[in-house]
Structure 1
C-alpha cells in the first residue's frame, strides 16, 4: 500500500490594506477641508485619524501583513498636512473674529455721543458758524464733521436728462449739483453709505434723483486721508419751484446736512 506524502501548498496570505486606504481617504478630505478656514475643526479631527490609521498601516506593511506602503505613507503625510492647515485655519478665524469685534466696538464708540447734547459725528459747519443750527447751508458751503470729513455742495445748474433717463417727469425741470467729499481725517473714509435726497418748492415736495448715463452713479470705494472725491447728482423739480433743498448723509453714524439752493 502506498501513501501520498505530498504537502498541499499553503493558502496565499490576504493582505490587510484597509487601514492604509482609509488613512489616504481621510487625509484627502481633511486636507481639502483645511483650505476652508471655518472648517479647521474638521481638518484637525480627520488629520488626527488619518495620521493614526496611516501609522498603524505602516506597521502592517513592515510585518508583511499589507503591501500598500505608498498609500499608507501618503495617508500619514496628508494627515500631517490636515493638522497644519487646521492650525492655520484656527489662527485665521480667531484673527477675523477679533478684528470684527474691534470694528464693532469702534463703531459703537464713534456713534456714541460725547455728551447728551452732542450728535454722533455731526458738527456745526465751519462756513455757517454764525447761522442758527436749524438753518440750511448755502451753495458752496462746507459741512465739517468731527472726524474732519468735509462735504460741499455746489450751486445748482440746469440739467438736460437723456431720453433714457430714470426719475425725470415730463414738464418738470432738472437741476444738477456737484458734491465733493474731502477726507481731512487720519483714517480712510468708506463712501458706500453716502446717500442723497432733495425736496423742491415752498411745499417741499420730493425731488426725485435722476439716473442716466451722465449722473446718478454716486460715490464708489474709499477716500484716503488728504484726498477728495467728486460726483454730479441731478434732481427733478416742479417747473415753478424756486428753491431746492439738497440733503447729503455721509453714513449711518453721521448727521445729514442740508443745503438751501435757489433755482428757477
Structure 2
C-alpha cells in the first residue's frame, strides 16, 4: 500500500522579509527638551525679580538637568529637538547666574546695614555719609536736609571726597536676543557702561552698585538680561587704585525713549547716589 508523501513544510522567512509585518518605529522622546525650554524661560523671569530669585534658581537647575538629558537623547537619535534642549540648558544656566548675583547683592546689603548699625552703637550717632565733591557740584550730607546736586550729563565723572570716581557713558542702542528677560516687545533698549575707580585707600565693595533708570516721562525702566550680556553687573571688590566696569541695558517705551536718567551710588550707605541724564542715541 502506497503511503502518501508528507506535504513539504511551508518556508518561513526571517523577520523583516517581504510580506511580514514591520515593527513600528519608536516615537521621538521630545518631552525633556520641551520641559527644559519652559523651565528655562520661566526660571529666568523669576530670577530677575528680587523676591523670587530663589525660585528662579530652582527652576534653572531643573532646566539644566532636563536640557542636558534631552540633548543627550537627541544625540542618540531618541529625540528630534536637540536645539530646544540646548536652549533650555542655556536659559537654565543664565537663571542660576542671575540668582547668584542677587544672593551676592542681598548679602552685601545686609552686611553693610549691619556694619552701619554697629557704628551707630559704638559712636552713639549715625556715621556721616561721604560728601561728594571734585569734578561735579558738591552734594550735602544726607542729614543736612539741603537739596540734592544737579544732574550730571552722560560721560561726566563724579568724584567723591574719598577719591572714588563714577562715570556713566552715553547710552547706546542695544538689540536684546530672542530670549531676553525684562524687555517688552516693541520697546527700545539702551545700554550704558558704568566705570567705578577706587581712588580711596581701602578696598571698595561694588557688588551692591546697581543703577536705577527712568525714561523721559519719569517711569521706571526695566533692566534687561539676555544671553549676550545685555546687563553684566558689578561683582566683588575693587582694590585701591583699580577700577571696575559694568554694562546695564534698560527697556524704554517708544514714546519715552528719547531721554534716559540713571541713578547710582558706588555703595549702599556710605555714598550719596548721583544722577546722570541726557538724550539717547
Measured at CA, do residues 107 and 173 of structure 1 come closer, stay the same or move farther in structure 2, by a change above 3 Å? farther
Alignment map for 1:27-176 (pairs within 5 Å): 104-105=118-119, 112-113=127-128, 120-124=129-133, 126-128=135-137, 133-176=148-191
CA distance, structure 1, for counterparts of residue 254 and residue 167 of structure 2: 26
Match of 2:92 in 1: none
Q: What is the DSSP-based 3-state SS (H/G/I as helix, E as strand, rest coil) of the residue aligned with 2:119? A: helix
CA distance, structure 1, for counterparts of residue 120 and residue 240 of structure 2: 18
Using the TM superposition, give the Cα deviation of residue 121 of structure 1 relative to its aligned residue in structure 2, in angstroms. 1.6
Q: For 2:211, which of 186, 196, 211 is the aligned residue?
A: 196
Q: For 2:201, which of 163, 176, 186 is the aligned residue?
A: 186
Q: What is the DSSP-based 3-state SS (H/G/I as helix, E as strand, rest coil) of the residue aligned with 1:206? A: coil
Q: What is the DSSP-based 3-state SS (H/G/I as helix, E as strand, rest coil) of the residue aligned with 1:192? A: coil
TM-score, normalization by structure 1: 0.53
Match of 2:274 in 1: 257
Match of 1:55 in 2: none
Q: For 2:237, which of 199, 222, 226 is the aligned residue?
A: 222
Deviation readout 1:225-246 (Å, 9 max, x if unpaired)? 0000111110011112221000
Using the TM superposition, give the Cα deviation of residue 142 of structure 1 relative to its aligned residue in structure 2, in angstroms. 1.2
Larger CA deviation: 207-216 vs 167-176: 207-216
Measured at CA, do residues 141 and 102 of structure 1 come closer, stay the same or move farther in structure 2, by a change above 3 Å? closer
Larger CA deviation: 191-200 vs 133-142: 133-142
CA distance, structure 2, for counterparts of residue 106 and residue 222 of structure 1: 24
Q: What is the DSSP-based 3-state SS (H/G/I as helix, E as strand, rest coil) of the residue aligned with 2:211? A: strand
Larger radius of gyration: 1
Backbone CA RMSD of aligned residues: 2.9
C-alpha contact 2:154 2:278 (8 A) present in aligned 1: yes
1:245 equivalenced with 2:261 (yes/no): yes
CA distance, structure 2, for counterparts of residue 136 and residue 174 of structure 1: 22
C-alpha contact 2:134 2:161 (8 A) present in aligned 1: no
C-alpha contact 1:121 1:147 (8 A) present in aligned 2: yes
Query: Unpaired runs of 5+ in structure 2?
Result: 1-113, 139-146
Aligned residues: 157
C-alpha contact 2:119 2:126 (8 A) present in aligned 1: no
CA distance, structure 2, for counterparts of residue 159 and residue 168 of structure 1: 11
Match of 2:225 in 1: 211
Measured at CA, do residues 101 and 228 of structure 1 come closer, stay the same or move farther in structure 2, by a change above 3 Å? closer
Q: What is the DSSP-based 3-state SS (H/G/I as helix, E as strand, rest coil) of the residue aligned with 1:240? A: helix
Q: What is the DSSP-based 3-state SS (H/G/I as helix, E as strand, rest coil) of the residue aligned with 1:247? A: strand
